[in-house]
Every structure is written in C-alpha cells, then in structure tokens.
Amino acid sequence: MRSRSIQDIFLFVFFLLFQWLIGSRLLLFKQAACFAYAGYWVLLGQRRPIDTLLSGFLMGVLMDWHYETNGIHTAATTLLAYLQPHALKLLTSSTGNDTESFERLTPNNIGMLPFFAYALSLLFIHHLVLFFIEAGGSGLSVWFILLRIGASALFTAVVVHLFGLMSGLKAS
C-alpha cells in the first residue's frame, strides 16, 4: 500500500473520530453545527474518482450510524465527494494553481482566500443537502433553514481552515 493511501486512511479515521468525539458536541449559538468530517474532502488532493466516491459513501454511512439518521449524511457526503474533483478543476482554472501536484490542499499551498472560498463552497453544498433533507416536511421556515446552513457552513469552514493550516505546517 502506498504511503499516500495510508495517509488518506489516517486522515479519514482522524476526521471520523474528531466528529464522533468532539465535532458532534460543537454548537455555536445553538444553531451552527460543526460537521468537520466533511473537511476530509476539502483537504484531499486529486484522487481517483471511485476512491473519492467510496470514501464519501463510507463516511456518510458511518455518520448516519453515529447520529442515527437514515441516509441524510450519506446523501450529503456522497454528493460532496462527487463534486470535489469538479471543484478542484474550477480552483485550478481560477487560481492558476496546479492542484494535482499537491497531496493535500492547504491554505499554505494554494493561498488563504482561494482555500477558504473552495472550502466554503463545498461545505455550503454539503450543508444545503444535509439540512434540507433533515428539515423535509417539518414546516420550518426556508429562511431559518438557510440561516442554519450558512452559519453551520461558515463555522465548519473555519474549523476545516484551521485543520488545513495545521496540516500545512512544516516541522523545523
């Protein structure tokens, strides 16, 4: 097994355990939830699409098992994993960075603002699917749901951004 695959598995397990042990308890202003596990695909560089999709499906199933939800996280995370390579292509074309040369995407190797915009856009789509499926038929106001989506996506993006900064640090 290649070292990159081992690192990907380690990162996958790290985000899984972080979400289960810490992320599930983070709630900002009783509205903004932190779904940091979605950061796995934000930090993941270019990979084979089948690997990205399978990891998205597996993480979603494990999150649904933990939260006792019936496929909500699986749907949102599989979509996120599907969109990640397309978002990487957009990032490459808009910034001129060759994202294929990076094993991990971090603010240090693509820039703070491009990384945050990339992370926030992917996380917003993930949270959009997650919260609208969760709220389906509940009678909640669309504006209230959109507020929760925006606040949660922003909160999660900040946490993922911090992970990205930490993972991009070089040992001296």
Within 8 A by CB and 6+ apart from 137, the residues are: none
Over the chain (172 residues), the average pLDDT of each successive run of 10 is 79 91 83 91 85 93 94 96 89 66 75 88 95 84 90 93 75 38
Under CATH, to which class is 3-167 assigned?
A: mainly alpha
pLDDT of amino acid 172: 36
pLDDT of 114: 87
pLDDT given for residue 88 in this prediction: 84
